[in-house]
A and B are shown apart, each in its own frame.
Chain A
Amino acid sequence: MINKRRSLAVLIGLLTTTALIGPTPARADDDPAETPAEPPKVELVLDVSGSMRARDIDGRSRISVAQQAFNEVVDALPDETQLGIRVLGATYKGRDKKQGCLDTQQIVPVGPVDRAQAKAAVATLRPTGFTPVGLALRSAAQDLGTGSTARRIVLITDGEDTCAPPDPCEVARELAAQGTKLVVDTLGLAPDDKVRRQLLCIAAATGGTYTAAQSADELTGRIKQLVDRARDTYTAAPTVVGGSAECDRAPLLGPGVYTDREAFSEHRWYRVPVRPGQELRASVSVALDRPVNPDYGVLLRATAPDGRELVRGVDAGSGRTDVVSAGLRWSAAEEDGPSPSPTGTLTVTAQTVCLVVSNSFAPRPGTEATPGMPIELTVDVVAASPAPDGPDLGRGWALLLLLTLAGLVTGLLAGLLTRWWVATWREN
């Protein structure tokens, strides 16, 4: 009996140790937090044209709703965010369209905000003149300046642009194509069909959002959200690169994120050096910043310098979307090994892999073809993951249980046989 108890204890002990040293989940290291050098920058652009007098939001005038929203946003502004405020149609009372369409001023410069001063500046605004949205956008982009991080413009308007040309949507596309990462979020106050279309076009051209604000709470909540978003998502903007029409002269890319423009049916080539034992990872997103036909696709191919295809990533879709993305992984097959160089040390030579991005978007009649659609390319070169060549062994709790039971049964059978054999041997 003592024997039995002891062996049971040993068995349980063994089981617990195996449980403790069992499979350990792989812990991935967390991304190192990066602190960009610049503070987040955002500019609010407010329409103060004559139509803002209309009293149709909760029985209050549009301008008073906007003023209240601005006050609350300024109060709740995160300390590190730099905020500027620009108005349009605020001063010129006359009827001369030429002059009225130049009417845009920055009432709070982009920088650390003096709350009292900003509120005082907003409180004096009275609905007055024309609606030069295009000019205001261009000026706001200048106010925000250029830098390595993304900037945000929040455009709040109630009426369509009365000063085109320049058409605000084309201005937005032009600003987006300048290389500085600029996002324009638009807010329509009680918008009609024309305003909505214009604001949607501006938002789509810059990768921003469009909101129809129907109440004071909605307006305040949304502006606060956008200002917060400016702080949360102003990551370092991707490097601007220009892909070429063939692989030979294509830019050589290191790991990181890049942005480029690609027109309809265009092919853009890039090159990435990959050493043996490394794996190439690439992905591409093509943004739909203009109206296109509803069916589309994007193709990312990796080829050898001689044009032989190595691998491809492809995605297609249909309907409304912001970006279409594809990605690929590739690593060289195992080779003979490093070759000795003249100096005697073993060396490995990097192999150049060509990446080509192509798209199958079709423009709608009247869609501008230039500048091309924004593409975002991420390239990474990491250690290759070779195919596993594990031994023909087992793993897992089921295996342990099975082996233990098999051992037990064998032991029991052996014991019973021995008893039977001893008994018969004694009798004889």
Chain B
Amino acid sequence: MRTLIRSAAALAAAGLTLAPATAPAVASAAPTPSPGAATVTKAGTSFLTATAITAGQPVQVGASTGDYLYWSFRAEAGQTHEITATVSFPKGRSGRSTWAVDVFDGLRRRQACTAGAQTPTADAAAASVALGCTLRRVRPWAEPWSGDPLPGTYYVRLAVTDLPEPDLGLPIDVDLLVGVDGEGGTSGEDGKLEAPLVPNTRPGTVLSAEPGPEPVAEEETSLTGWLPEPGSRWVWTTAGGVLAAVAGVVGFALTRRPRRP
């Protein structure tokens, strides 16, 4: 019986080493730059010219009060992004100013912030103001009619939304960081977005006539086509069944009387 308890404890320990993978990632207090990431010193001025950054890449850029600064980053399903920004002002401003960090998805749809100071107001004497926005978790699939966050490009716009006019044009320094949290936490959801929400930025072509009927593309049938994809529910559940069977045999074996030498 003692060996049984000891073995059970060993098994439990093995299970515990597995546990951190199952536990949801704890949200950190503030995103930190990833080590070795190059600092971005640029910002775009519109959706089309937004500067591409990656999560964990710090941004430091000088700008003028009143500029609309745009950055874009890629998001994958299961990720939660947290944007933090600090705007530092010169002295001698004439009044209060309100700043805003707005986030849009690849279709330029406004994204909600679940936490963070999205539109803080700075006093005339303040030397800097901190902004923040935590986005919703990116879902792997959503109905076309819904506004849920989906994988693809996200745009960040930082600008001043309200200020006394004489303060426009004064130099500011902007620090921004996009942090990412919770890689691949989408086990509860099915579905897949066939094409990520990445905008098509090429100049369009105006069609001269409506396109006619098009023959249906033959569906490709391959030998391995019927196999479930890696990571699908079929694979997980089958693996679970195998593990359960093995664990059952192990459990049964543990109760056997130790063989006398």
A: residues with CB less than 8 A from B are 1, 3-4, 7-8, 10-12, 14-15, 18-19, 21-26, 28, 31, 34, 148, 183, 188, 191, 193, 196-197, 199-200, 207-212, 214, 218, 221-222, 225, 228-229, 232-233, 235-239, 241, 251-258, 273, 275, 279, 281-285, 311, 313, 315, 319-323, 325-331, 338, 341, 345-350, 352, 376, 378-380, 382-385, 387-388, 390-391, 393-416, 418-419
Contact = CB atoms under 8 A, between A and B. Distances in A.
Contact of A211 (B64, B68, B251): B64
B247 A411 contact: yes
Nearest to B155: A325
Given A23-B187, A256-B204, A348-B216, A326 B108 contact: yes
B132 interface: no
Interface residues of B, number: 114
Contacts of B213: 341, 347-350
A218 B11 CA distance: 66
Nearest to B170: A212
A341 B251 CA distance: 64
B197 A281 contact: yes
B251 A411 contact: yes
Given A12-B14, A212-B168, 11 more contacts: A11-B247, A22-B231, A26-B140, A233-B45, A235-B201, A241-B206, A258-B204, A330-B145, A346-B215, A347-B213, A396-B236
Contacts of A313: 107, 109
Interface in B67-94: 67-68, 74, 76-78
A412 to B, nearest CB: 4
B145 A26 contact: no
Contact of A25 (B67, B152, B163, B184): B184
Given A327-B107, A329-B107, A388-B190, A401 B19 contact: yes
Interface of B: 3-4, 7-8, 10-11, 14-15, 18-19, 21-22, 42, 44-49, 51, 62, 64, 66-68, 74, 76-78, 98, 104-105, 107-110, 140-141, 143-145, 151-152, 159-163, 165-166, 168-171, 183-184, 187-188, 190-216, 230-237, 239-259
Contact of A406 (B201, B230, B232, B244): B244
Contacts of B240: 394, 399-400, 402-404
Contact of A11 (B144, B250, B259): B250
A329 B199 contact: no
Nearest to B119: A319
B200 A398 contact: no
A322 B235 CA distance: 49
Q: Which of B160, B203, B233, B241 has the most CB of A within 10 A?
A: B203
What secondary structure prevails in chain A residues at the interface with B? mixed
A41 B14 CA distance: 64
26 contacts: A11-B14, A23-B230, A26-B192, A28-B74, A188-B169, A196-B169, A200-B66, A210-B64, A225-B62, A233-B45, A239-B205, A241-B206, A257-B201, A282-B107, A320-B159, A321-B68, A325-B47, A347-B213, A347-B216, A350-B210, A380-B200, A393-B237, A399-B236, A403-B244, A404-B15, A411-B249
A414 B171 CA distance: 76
A88 to B, nearest CB: 21
Q: Which of A11, A208, A379, A400 has the most CB of B within 10 A?
A: A400
Contact of B62 (A196, A212, A221, A379): A221
B7 A252 contact: no
Contacts of A409: 251
Contacts of B248: 407-408, 410-411, 414
Contact of B204 (A257, A285, A346, A407): A257
A148 B197 CA distance: 26
B50 to A, nearest CB: 9
B19 to A, nearest CB: 7
B236 A393 contact: yes
A277 B46 CA distance: 32
A394 B108 contact: no
Given A209-B67, A256-B204, A396 B246 contact: no
Nearest to A15: B18
Contacts of B110: 315, 325
A338 B255 contact: no
A323 B44 CA distance: 14
Q: Which of B49, B108, B141, B213 has the most CB of A within 10 A?
A: B108
A28 B187 contact: no
B171 A218 contact: yes
Given A320-B162, A379-B204, A388-B141, A411 B252 contact: yes
B250 A7 contact: yes
A227 to B, nearest CB: 12
A323 B197 CA distance: 20
A211 B245 CA distance: 71
A412 B255 contact: yes
B192 to A, nearest CB: 7
A230 to B, nearest CB: 10
A385 B192 contact: yes
B48 A376 contact: yes
